[in-house]
Amino acid sequence: MDLNYIKENINARQEDIFNLVDTLLPNDNISKIIDKYKDELTNYSYVDTVGKFSLLELKGSIKYINKYDKELRNGGLVTKIYKNKENGKWYAVILKMKKKFYISFDNNYIFYLDSKEQNMRRWAQCFISEVDKGLYDVE
């Protein structure tokens, strides 16, 4: 038997099972899930669309809640966002404790926290624009 044929059939069957589970799961109320983990998700923003997910900036931190077991995972540092060519799904590659993890947007609720560097850059831009408007006396 051809090994590639077996691999393709296993992947197709696994995809069928995931789709079946998705259709049988009740629609989750994301606000209830967020409320459950509100302390752990302080300062994190919920990424509700693939469009937002695909535009996440690198070096930010993500946490995610698995859609199947509803457990919060303490993610890690985002190092890459990509769309898988084989199945068309979006993934984030995160780095945690020198290990890489691949997080699927479809299978998880994603929460994102900008990097401190990014926040400082935004603060500096706002401050400079206020200085330009004459709100501060700088000499």
Is the model more confident about 43 or about 12?
Answer: 43
> Residues, the chain, total?
139
Distance of CA 125 to the CA centre of its chain: 26
Specify the pTM. Answer: 0.64
- Rounded to 5 degrees, φ, ψ at 62 are -125, 150
The DSSP H or E segment spanning 92 is strand 90-96
- What the block records as the tokens of 13 is 């069957």
99 and 30 Cβ atoms separated by less than 8 Å? no
Q: What is the pLDDT of residues 64-92, one digit of tens each?
A: 998 888 899 988 889 999 999 988 999 99
Cα–Cα distance for residue pair 129/115, rounded to 1 Å:
22
